[in-house]
Amino acid sequence: MFREGRVADWIGSFATATARAAAASIELADRVAELQGEWRERAGRPRAGSAASKLIALLPALPVLSAPTARAAIGVSQQQTLAALKALARAGVIRQLSAGTYDRQYAAIELFDLLTAYEEGIVGPARSTRPAL
């Protein structure tokens, strides 16, 4: 359109796409907040400021994490971090991805499902963003 001299049409198309993207982003942010609320309920409504509460707040920014990564991000002891990770895994908030005792990896699988649905809503079905289990 633009190269054909239809600048007004191009601007209209761009404005429409921008408005749709903004609305979809707001909807995604709302869904992430709802998901965090569901996680808090499943985790037994952890006390504000607790390691579990801090991890739930962190998960949208860091949906795949290890105990050392989580500990560094939330600033609590190793024991508190491990207890919170185990509690969140038991509650189904996160899933342990790797075996072993050192540097286990955890992921917020439901967040990846939410992001996949968001992507598919915008551009149609595509490769999954969900980590391999």
Coil, helix or strand for 96? strand
Task: State the residue for tokens 């955890």.
Answer: 106
Axis-axis angle for helices 51-58, 7-42 (nearest 10): 160
C-alpha span between 33 and 11 (Å, rounded): 33
Residue 132 lies in a domain: no
Residue 97 lies in a domain: yes
CATH of the domain at 97: 1.10.10.10
Output the pLDDT for position 90: 96
Residue 58 lies in a domain: yes
Strand-pairing partners, residue 64, are 107
**How confident is the model over 5-51, as pLDDT tens digits?**
778 888 898 898 888 888 888 999 999 999 999 999 999 999 999 99
Which residue range is the domain that position 81 belongs to? 2-123
Output the pLDDT for position 106: 96
Instruction: Give the Å distances, CA to CA, from 13 to 8, 9, 68, 106.
Output: 9, 6, 47, 41
Domain tally, the chain:
1
Residue 12 lies in a domain: yes
Tokens of 15: 């404005």
